[in-house]
Structures are given as structure tokens and as C-alpha cells.
Chains A and B, each alone.
Chain A
Amino acid sequence: MQRPPDLKSKGYREDWSSRLYSGFVSILDIAFSALQSAVGIRGMAYVFVLPNLLIFGIFILLPMLLNFGYAFTGGSQLYLENRPYVGTANIEQLFQCEDIFDYTTCREDGFIRAIGNTISFVTSQVFLLVLFALLTALVLNRKIAGRAFFRSVFFYPVLLSPIVVALIWSWILRENGIINAFLGSFGVGKIQFLADVNWARFWVVMISVWSQMGFYTLILLAGLQAIPHDLYEASQIDGANEWQQFWGVTLPLLMPTMLVVLVLSLIRAVQVFDVVYAFTDGGPGTATLFIVQYIYRNGFVGNRRLGIAAAASLVMAGALIGLTLLQFVLRSREGELIEEEERASHEPSA
């Protein structure tokens, strides 16, 4: 990935597509050259960054700033100028509880429940996701016939859209579905999976692991393949068995990749929405109501409570930024550790 492609084997063959491209470049060059003579080379740097900056500024940064506006204003008006300033009332309302550990005493019990549900979903989903992705990557990293095939097999569900995933599984899990038929052959009665609180939670975790695992497997597999082979040979000469090699070589050297996977999957898990929206729609009751869906319901469904939705967004953004910072802290600490080790290993020879 780091090396530019071999120019002799690939580039500079004049086929129709490269001719089309160079024609396209030449036409635009007329405009850009004129622009360059007006603003100079230094100015072109701004020209290149401008389109991205505009889109980013208008559709990401501006909404983020506006979000603060909504979070600190009340009322049911859509446009900010008509909304009265209420300070932190929205955020306070979200956490207004007589007893924080009993959501029924909270004013916004939906929010507190959504937080609780999200936390329990995130912990179990990320744990299972990383566990299975690691296991699969380890198996695929062995000398296995048909490795490319299996790699694709595990990746395939990643490509399916959340709606498709939700429909596939709700078909499988329905009362007259194949899972119930399978259980029935062991004499278990029909279970209404999506009408039962615990089963619904269980399957929401399962299908999101099912649909995302392949992606993290690929990243972990790449991390495994980057581990130098000599280390295994050296440890083998020292008499280490496969199990010891795993704990002594593989796992420590895989840690940076594991960290990436952990943080990526954590952030994605906190944002879980579409699969669940199509699968259980937060039900039964509020058993699988997660934070983004809470925001969606308040912001876009029924009588909108934009202030509450925006305040909930702020809380969630805070959590995400916290997670990201955590990653940086862990990373830099790990970097220090590696540096120390390197220094230690160099000292005797010096």
C-alpha cells in the first residue's frame, strides 16, 4: 500500500479510458490555469480544499453548531429564531429523576431506558463481535485451503443493507419460522422471539454481530499477517507450542489492531439504529430502544420535541468524543511502551 504502483507495467499505455481522462483533464486545465494565474500557486491550495470545506462546513459543521442552538432552546417551533432560550433546561429534563437507578421515576424515562439499553447492547455486542472476529481471523490466518473463499463468505453479510438483514432475520425468527421448527424437533414449543424482552435483546445483538463481523475479521486478519514470521520460527526453536505462541507472540503484536477494531466497533455500536429500527422498532415496549432511535423519534416522529432530541444528541456526541479520546490515550500509552521496549532492547548492544 505504501509503494506507488509500478509505472512500467501499468501506466502510460494509451487506451481509450486514459485518453478520455487526459482530454477531460486538459479541458478543465484551461479554467484552472486561468484561476492559477489569478490567485498564484499558494492560492491554488485554497482552491483545492474549498469544495470539501464548503460541503463540510455547510452540512456537517453548521448542523453541529445549530445543534447547540436547539439543545438550549425550547418550544415547538422549527426555526431557531422563533425558539425561546431555555438554557440547560432540556439537558436537565433528560436527567431529571427522583432516583437515577430507577427509570420509572424519571421524567424522560425513555431516554434513561435508551441509555441503559444502549450500554448493555454495546458491551455485549462489542464483546461478542471482537471475540468472533478474532477467532475467525485466527482460523483464517492458518494455512487453510480455500482461504480467499472463506474470507469472502464471512464478509458477505457486511454488504447487506440493514433493512435486508432485519427482514431476513425476522423471517427466520417468526413464529412459524425455521428456528422454531428446528427447536420444535427437540420438543421445544414455539417461541415468539421478537415479543419477548430477553429474546428480542438477544437477537438484536446476534444479528448485528452476524452482519458486521466480517469487516473486523478482515482488519484483524491483515494485522495478523503483518506479524513477522521469524518471530514464530524463533519461538518455535525456543520450544513454544501453538498456545504459548498465541499468548506470547500473536496477541501482544496484534494489540494495536485490536485497539482499532475495539474503538471502531464501540463507536458503531453506540450509533446502532437502522437494523434495530427495521427489526424490532425498539420493541417489545422499549426493550430495544437505543439512543439514536430515541433521537429519531423525538426529532422526526409525531409531535416533534427538537430541543430534547438535540440535547440527547449532545449527550451522545459527548460519549462518542469520550470514547475517541480514550483511544488516543490508550494509543499513546502503548506507543510509549513500545518505545521503552525498543530503548531497552537497544541498550545492551550500545
Chain B
Amino acid sequence: MSQVLDFLSRTQGKRRLSTSDTLSYLYLMIGTFIMFAPVVWLVMSSFKPVTELNRFPPRFLPYRQVTITLEEFDKPLPLWEVKYADGTVRKMAEVSRISIQYNLIDPSKPTMEPEVHRLSEMTRVEEVNFSLENYTVGVQSFNFITYLINSVIVTVLSTLITLAVNSMAAFSLSKYRYAGRDVFFLVMLSTLMVPLSVILVPAFLVVNSVGWSNNLWGVIIPGAATPTGVFLLRQYMLTLPDELIDAARIDGASEWRIYAQVILPLSAPALAVLTIFSVMWRWNDFLWPLIVLVDNDKFTLQVGLNSFRGDLQTQFHLILAMTVLTLLPITIVFAFLQRFITSGIATTGMK
């Protein structure tokens, strides 16, 4: 206990926790619970069979009834604990059931004549069991791999295109002087606050007339010219000294080389931030893919999960498992890159 206290007050330089420190840790503990508990609960639930899911009040761990396999019977028999009138408790196996009457035998005497018991005398013998059944059944109608591939294609290509297109534009806007530059920048800035969701109908018609409806390109390209990205990169590139460019020109570098081998490497921190944003936006994007994509084999994970949810309104056990599958990839990525991601986003707030 004192070691824990040592750790908690480590950065304080003193042994005792002050009241405000205690309150801070209390806040963080409650916060951690609120942030994580819903996801943990979902994951736990996804391992439970339907009967267990319908149980009220629910239990934290996934349980299932223990079964016993006897030579004399084809199927495994569910085990029950039976309380007799004299107070003794015995484990019995269920052979058959007629309405509310259960026929039970003693597993050690398989040939005995079954005793008849009622549910009021019986309790299930249970064990903790993480069943993968919801997952294996779920993926039969939820094309996880297809959706995952589509989501990865959309996220990776969008991010690459966004980075390329935005950084080139930012380079042009920050390092050249030409007619129309400021007009373009202002027009783009003014749309910064008007999201795609506001112009859904005409944006869809444009994509449709380009022939990209029900096509991953229709999801990838329209969001690639993000005003946010151009703005972020331009502001960063403005801080890079123009002398670098002049020096490179004197050395005979083409404008393309100046962009690709002088400016881009120096803009790495800003590019990293835009990468994080772009991946987050694209991976979780829902409304736009929902409108553009029609066929099941084109769906991204989010749209796929939504249609799965719509198709199987009542089969919540499968939806739970597929929700876990959907949140798994980004959770794994976050687990490895969390420090990088959180500090990257924090730096954008400095503006």
C-alpha cells in the first residue's frame, strides 16, 4: 500500500497526498471507468450466448451451463444442482424435459431411472466461458474481411491523396506570389466551416454524374481537398525560410525537387498531424459513404455495421460481436501509437 502511495505522489516530491491530489486521482479513476467501462461491457457481452444476454440483472463475466458427456447418451447433458427436501445437494444431469418437469439422473449412475424435478429445486452448474460462437456465426453474414479491406483502401488512399494534394497546394500558396492566389485561399477558408453534410444532395449528384456512385473513388476523392489540411500545412510552411528555396534553385533543383526534397521533409511534423486527422476522419466517416455506396461488397466497416444492424434488428448477440470486430482495428492501432497521436493532436491546439 505504501508503495502505491509512493508511486502516486512520486512527482510531488513529498510522501503525503494532499486533498486536491486525492480528488484529482479520484476524478481520473472515475473518468477512466466511464471511458472504458462501456467498451469493456460490450466486449464481455459479445462472448455471451443469447440466454445469458437476456438474463436480468446481467452478470459481468460470460457464463455457460456445464455439460457432461456420458457414453449412454448421444448429446452432452446439462448439469444441475438439485436441492433435496432434506437439505442435501447433488449434481444431476438433465436427460430430457417435459414442459416444467425435468428428468434428471445421477451422472455416476447413468442407467438409473430418471428422477423428476422442478426448476424451483434446481440451479444451473455454470462455468466462465468465452464463447466465440457469436463471432463465427456473425461473420457468415457480416463480410468483415471485405469491409475491412474497403475501409483500409479508403483510409490509406484518401490519406495519401489528401497529403499529396494538400501539401502541393500549401506549398504553392505559401511560397509563390501570383495572381488569384489570395482569392483562392480566401474562398477555401470560407468553406472551412461548411461541411460536406450541408451540401449532401448536390455533392451526391456531382459524384453521380462523374460516374462514381457506388464506387470507392466516390468516397475517396471528394473529401481529399480538405481546407483544414491546406490551412494547417500552409501555416507551417510559411515558417520555413525562403532562403532554402533560393539556395536549392541556385543549385539547379527543379521546382518539383524543391517541393519534394526540401519543403516536404521539413514539414514532417505538420504532415504527421494531418495524417492522424485524415485517418481518423476517413476510418470513422459514415454519412458520405452511406450515401455513395450501394452494394454490400463496396461497404466500408461503418456502413457495413449499420446495414448489418438494420438487417438483424433482433439478433443483438451477433451485432455485439461484429461491433467488437469493427472497433478492434483502430483500438490496436491506438494501443501502439497512442503517445504519438495524443501529442500530435495537442500540438495543433497551439495555433
Contacts and interface: CB of A to CB of B under 8 A. Distances in A.
A161 B302 contact: yes
Interface in A65-104: 66-67, 69-70, 78-79
Given A64-B199, A296-B287, A300-B291, A176 B56 contact: yes
B57 A139 contact: no
A89 B98 CA distance: 69
Nearest to A316: B198
B178 A215 contact: no
A40 to B, nearest CB: 10
Nearest to B55: A176
A210 B221 contact: no
A139 B23 CA distance: 9
25 contacts: A1-B270, A28-B260, A48-B169, A51-B165, A52-B165, A52-B168, A53-B225, A64-B194, A66-B199, A66-B206, A142-B21, A144-B11, A148-B339, A154-B31, A155-B341, A160-B327, A161-B302, A163-B309, A164-B305, A168-B38, A169-B38, A176-B54, A181-B56, A292-B287, A299-B204
A119 to B, nearest CB: 17
B187 interface: yes
**Interface bracket on A:** 35 or more
Interface stretch (B81-89, B134-142, B343-351): B343-351
B34 interface: yes
Interface in B1-56: 7-12, 20-21, 24-25, 27-28, 31-32, 34-36, 38-39, 41-42, 45, 54-56
Nearest to A176: B56
A223 to B, nearest CB: 6
Interface of A: 1-2, 4-5, 11, 22, 25, 28-29, 32-33, 36, 41-42, 44-46, 48-49, 51-53, 55-56, 58-64, 66-67, 69-70, 78-79, 135-136, 139-140, 142-145, 148, 150-164, 167-169, 171-172, 176-178, 180-181, 184-185, 210, 214-215, 218-223, 226, 242, 257, 260, 267, 271, 273-274, 277-278, 292, 295-296, 299-300, 306, 309-310, 313, 316-317, 320-321, 323-324
Interface SS of chain B:
helix
Contacts of B259: 48
Contacts of A140: 28
B266 A42 contact: no
Given A168-B39, A171-B316, A317-B194, A32 B254 contact: yes
B206 A59 contact: yes
Given A143-B12, A144-B28, A309-B201, 15 more contacts: A49-B168, A79-B205, A152-B342, A159-B334, A161-B301, A163-B326, A168-B323, A176-B58, A218-B349, A222-B350, A226-B350, A274-B286, A292-B198, A306-B201, A313-B198
